[in-house]
Structure 1
Amino acid sequence: MGHLIGKEYYLDHVIEVAKSIVLAIHKAPQITGKTKIEAEIIWGEDLEPIIEVMGPVAKVMRYIQWDYETIKKCYEKGESPVIINIGAKVSKSNLNWNCGACGHDTCKEFNAYSKEYKGGGQMGGPSCNWKVLDWAMACDWACASAWQYRVDNRIMGSVGFALHALGFLPDMDANIGLVLGPPRDMVYYNREEMHKSMSYEMDKQDMVNCVPTMFTAFPGGGTPMYKTKDDWWAPPEFMGIGYSEEAMEMYQQLLFEEVPEIVVKHADKIEARYKDKKK
């Protein structure tokens, strides 16, 4: 006889599902047949540096705050998400197709530029577009596989940024995170945890700032009004376009001070993980 309570073993099950998703990632078709793709599964306390990097980024990028609040609150409640890091090598072309999609006339020119300026991924460029397509197909297969197993999931560039900055899968130069679980409906789309941390007015203003096209009146006049209130016409509101010195200062502080400080704190431990596996 045996007896199991569902929520007591869900994490083990999600980890097993993640292993099957990794199989799907490596089984995904490729256009080139030459793109190197790797994947790893991360959960529990190994999520902490990822969450820590996302924290300061969330103050600058609102959509990252949505991801950050959800993952952080789930983890703190003991409902650890499971992250699949899907990495690819996209900064070098061994195709010799000379298609020009990367912005260079030849693959040779692309490789020379990429080598000098550390191309690929979220932290630089350019990338070989054909290899990015291969990587994208692997990500698509991963997401489809997760839904086939009825595991709530969302693929997140925000998590990919943190993974890349921290040096996960160091042989890859592009990363994205597929976040799985916990076992509730639409965790990463309804974002219950995020909404609990924000007032209605803050949430509404976020939507206006992040997806302004959803609030736009007829734009044909050249200065479109924005419907941000019930009586949006009295008086009408207009959204301006211009350079923001404040925003640029925040970006620079984030990229050159706050994130590197966190990365340095965790670098040795993360680097050791891959060195140990190569022995």
Structure 2
Amino acid sequence: MPEFKAMELVAELMAIAARTAPKAGGKDFIELKILQGDSLEQLAIAMTRYGQEKGKKNFDRDGENVRRSDAVLLVGLKKAAKAGLDCGACGAARCADLEGPHEGPEFAGPICAWRLIDLGIALGSAAKTAGILNVDNRVMYRIGVVARKTGLMDAEVIAGIPISATGKNIYFDR
């Protein structure tokens, strides 16, 4: 199936873009994983179930988007060290005062603000790569929540980027 192979290549190129995206101090704490095939259905089911169990909106909608996608790129932060800038953006006056990780309801934190910016730049670079290749995509918070809760990826914070190539963008008019 040529489309499946092409979308696999797109996901791999997105992962390269995320890996090579600029990072504070040149330190890389980004984790990446590509999901295709049966794992998309399993993720979609888990997303719907999580939304129902927790009474959270739109997990079913986003789960359906995952089900209809060709692939999902998971992008996460794992054991992200403090940048050492003592900037206070995380809420602590000094990096030494930032204590964690502490388990939150969906992610672990606190995390250095600069490491979260690194995650955002990696996500943006991956989404940009998909866009340049004319592949529909959307950065999704809910994918990351369920990927973490189900152990699909070991990271403190995760987001997912599903991709699709159809005649109509499945992530639009949701």
1:104 counterpart residue number: 92
1:125 counterpart residue number: 109
Mapped to 1, the partners of 2:3 and 2:165 lie a distance apart of 8
Q: Deviations over 1:97-140 (max 9, x none)?
A: 21222122221221xx204x247x94232111011001100100
Q: Deviations over 1:7-46 (max 9, x none)?
A: x421111001111111111121123322411211111112
2:29 counterpart residue number: 36
Mapped to 2, the partners of 1:127 and 1:16 lie a distance apart of 32
Q: Deviations over 1:236-262 (max 9, x none)?
A: xxxxxxxxxxxxxxxxxxxxxxxxxxx
CA contact (8 A) 1:37 1:135 kept: yes
Mapped to 2, the partners of 1:160 and 1:154 lie a distance apart of 13
1:86 counterpart residue number: 75
Aligned amino acid, residue 15 of structure 2 = V
Classify the secondary structure of the residue corresponding to 1:85. Answer: strand
What's the TM-score, normalizing by structure 1? 0.57
Mapped to 2, the partners of 1:92 and 1:168 lie a distance apart of 22
Aligned amino acid, residue 83 of structure 1 = V
Mapped to 2, the partners of 1:71 and 1:22 lie a distance apart of 18
1:66 counterpart residue number: 61
Residues 101-250 of structure 1 correspond to what in structure 2 (within 5 A)? 101-110=89-98, 113-115=99-101, 117-118=102-103, 122-170=106-154, 172-191=155-174
Instruction: Pick 1 or 2: higher relative contact order, CA cutoff 8 A, min separation 6.
Output: 2
Mapped to 2, the partners of 1:127 and 1:90 lie a distance apart of 9
CA contact (8 A) 1:153 1:181 kept: yes
Aligned amino acid, residue 143 of structure 2 = V
Classify the secondary structure of the residue corresponding to 1:127. Answer: coil
Asked which structure has the greater CA Rg, the reply is: 1
Identify unmatched segments of 5+ residues in structure 2: none
Deviating 4+ runs (over 4 angstroms): none
Q: Cα RMSD between the aligned structures?
A: 2.1
What is the count of residue pairs matched by the alignment? 172
Mapped to 2, the partners of 1:122 and 1:30 lie a distance apart of 24
Identify unmatched segments of 5+ residues in structure 1: 1-7, 75-79, 192-279
* Cα offset, 1:184, TM superposition: 3.0
Structure with bigger strand share is 2
Classify the secondary structure of the residue corresponding to 1:176. Answer: strand
Aligned amino acid, residue 181 of structure 1 = S
Mapped to 2, the partners of 1:108 and 1:99 lie a distance apart of 11
* Cα offset, 1:48, TM superposition: 3.2
Aligned amino acid, residue 72 of structure 2 = I
1:12 counterpart residue number: 5
CA contact (8 A) 1:58 1:68 kept: no
Aligned-pair identity (%): 26
